[in-house]
Amino acid sequence: MSGESLGGWVVAWTAAHHPDRVEKLVLNTPGNIADKPEVMARMRDSTMAAVLDPSDETVRRRVEFLFHHKEMATDELVNLRRRIHSRPGFVRAITNTLVLQDSEVRKDFAWDPSWVSRVKAPTLLLWTSHDPTGGLDEAELLLGWLPDARLHVIDDAGHWPQWEKVAEFLDVHRTWLLTGTDPS
């Protein structure tokens, strides 16, 4: 099982609460493990700005946030995101998703050793050297909380290594999920 960003949080929660359903786990740039309010505000504000005003400028700024190499926010990708942000019902859907950026709501589900330590599946933490949602200090927290975890850092990438370092991202996933080893 693999999850990126909020998806990493969801699959970790699933692995902790339903360990019989998860054989191996990849947490790809799960971000903001330490529940930093400034990170939550930046994520919420930039996302809502792009959804409420899906202009080239606001959507591009939001997409660029995900990359270490800002030039990867191509016109094609920005236009794709704009189309997604402009779909009927998307404002409500993203508002519901962003509720987890509210510290009062988040506290009941926040990353915490009390539930993270219940993850039994061997776990690969897939981090990047330039993730704007959480640094390697947060990866170290998870390494201390997870009973069976390894860390693989993809250098020179931001929050979306699946776009910036495609070959390495895929190789790490394939190797981990098929053999349980880190190819580095």
Q: Is the pTM of this model over 0.75?
A: yes
Least confident of 56-65, 75-84, 95-104, 174-183: 95-104
Give pLDDT tens digits for 115-148.
999 999 999 999 999 999 888 999 999 999 999 9
What confidence score (pLDDT) does residue 109 get? 83
Is residue 184 in a domain?
A: no
Position 97 pLDDT exceeds 90: no
Give pLDDT tens digits for 152-184.
999 999 999 999 999 999 999 999 999 988 777
pLDDT band at 42 (very low <50, low <70, confident <90, very high): confident
Is residue 164 in a domain?
A: yes
Could you give the CA distance from residue 147 to residue 112 in angstroms, rounded to a whole number?
A: 13
Residues 137 and 157 in one domain: yes
Residues 29 and 42 in one domain: no
Residues 122 and 170 in one domain: yes
Domain that holds residue 159: 2-34+111-179
Final residue of a domain: which of 104, 122, 147?
Answer: 104
Residues 96 and 79 in one domain: yes
111 φ, ψ to 5°? Answer: -55, 125
What confidence score (pLDDT) does residue 184 get? 74
